[in-house]
Structure formats: structure tokens, C-alpha cells
């Protein structure tokens, strides 16, 4: 499976059993989260020692409902606590990974 060109192709990839091994770790983490596997996504994000890893980590804790922990990770990512929906943030994250 090739790298999706856009968010729509990313969503289409969710019908697959697994993300491609060739994808960047951030996209794999987001794919697992979009498939409903928060733990797998968290495991990947936790290992990413980057601003993107912190942002994904923040999003995951926000989705979990742990605003305090999410706030910590948003600060580590250098991002404000979002005022958009979780679905919008997921799309923003996926597009950030695809277009960076």
C-alpha cells in the first residue's frame, strides 16, 4: 500500500488489515487510532521523540478525556489546546504528516 495522497485516501486505507510498513511512524499511529486501536496508536506516539509525536500523544489523551495530560503534551508540541472537534484534529494531523 502506497502513502495516501490525501485524507480521503487515508480514510480508504482503513479497510486494510494493517498500515503499510513503509509509512512514517506518525501516519501509522494515526491509522491505528482511526481504526479504533488507541493503545497501538499510543504505543507508537510514545516512542516518537519529536514535536509530531507529542502532538499525536496530546490528541490521544484529549480523545481519552484526560485534558490535563493532553494539555501537557500540547505544550510539549508547542501547540495550543485545540478548539476544533476530534475528527477535525485527526484530519489536520493526517494532512500535516502527508504534506510536510
Report the domain count for the chain. 1
Enclosing domain of residue 58: 7-99
What are the pLDDT tens digits along the chain (100 aa)? Answer: 799 999 999 999 999 999 999 999 999 999 999 999 999 999 999 999 999 999 999 999 999 999 999 999 999 999 999 999 999 999 999 999 999 8
Residues 32-55 as b/e (b if ≥16 CB within 10 A, e otherwise) read: bbbbeeeebbbebbeebeeebbbb
Would 87 be classed as within a structural domain?
yes
* 2 is a domain residue: no
94 part of a folded domain:
yes
The residue written with cell numbers 496530546 in the block is: 58
Amino acid at each position: 500500500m502506497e502513502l495516501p495522497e490525501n485524507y480521503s485516501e487515508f480514510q480508504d486505507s482503513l479497510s486494510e488489515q494493517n498500515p503499510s510498513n513503509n509509512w512514517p511512524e506518525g501516519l501509522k499511529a494515526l491509522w491505528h487510532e482511526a481504526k479504533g486501536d488507541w493503545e497501538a496508536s499510543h504505543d507508537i506516539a510514545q516512542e516518537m521523540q519529536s514535536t509530531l509525536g507529542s502532538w499525536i500523544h496530546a490528541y490521544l489523551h484529549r480523545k481519552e478525556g484526560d485534558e490535563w495530560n493532553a494539555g501537557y503534551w500540547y505544550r510539549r508540541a508547542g501547540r495550543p489546546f485545540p478548539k476544533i472537534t476530534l475528527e477535525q484534529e485527526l484530519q489536520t494531523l493526517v494532512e500535516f504528516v502527508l504534506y510536510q
